[in-house]
Amino acid sequence: MRKLGKRLKSIVTSPRLGAMALTLLVSTATFAQNAAGDYTAGTNALSTVAEEIAKYVPIVVKLCYAIAGVVAIIGAISVYIAMNNEEQDVKKKIMMVVGACIFLVAAAQALPLFFGL
């Protein structure tokens, strides 16, 4: 019985429980403030964030292409060195480099479609 009491006391006095209770209290207060159904502030904030993220999409697309180019160059050098050293897994290295480049190019193509641009 003493062990149970000590364990219960350690759980009740733990900082995790206090943080969880504070989070629950704040989230309940937030939902209670918006009980009237006025969601314009949240809608405006989300539309602003979506517009700001959309500004960065062309930059990220170009960055994906640049990273794909660097991966292709470094991969080609790695494959060349592996071929000169007559290693066993040259095909595996080639497939990994080609797969990485295809993924980066496909991701760069799909990113604008994801944001509706």
Q: How many CB atoms lie within 10 A of CB 89?
A: 10
Residue 45 counted as domain residue: no
**Same-domain pairing of 16 and 64:** no
User: What pLDDT digit, counting tens, does each position of 2-59 carry?
Assistant: 666 666 566 657 677 667 776 776 666 566 555 556 677 778 888 888 888 888 888 9
- Measured CA to CA, the distance from residue 108 to residue 15 in angstroms comes to 44
Residue 12 counted as domain residue: yes
**Boundaries of domain holding 18:** 1-38
Q: pTM of the predicted model, to two decimals? A: 0.58
**Same-domain pairing of 31 and 76:** no
Residue 46 counted as domain residue: no
Residue 78 has pLDDT above 90, yes or no: yes
Per-residue b or e along 42-57, where b marks 16 or more CB atoms closer than 10 Å to that residue's CB? eeeeeeeeeeeeeeeb
Residue 44 counted as domain residue: no
Q: How many CB atoms lie within 10 A of CB 108?
A: 19
**Same-domain pairing of 34 and 57:** no
Higher pLDDT, 82 or 2: 82
At 86, the pLDDT band (50, 70, 90 cuts) reads confident
Q: Which of 105, 108, 84 is nearest to 93 (CA)?
A: 84
Residue 48 counted as domain residue: no
Cα 9 to chain centroid distance, Å, stands at 39
pLDDT of residue 32: 56
**Same-domain pairing of 28 and 84:** no
- Domain count across the chain: 2
Higher pLDDT, 97 or 42: 97
- Measured CA to CA, the distance from residue 40 to residue 56 in angstroms comes to 25
Residue 80 counted as domain residue: yes
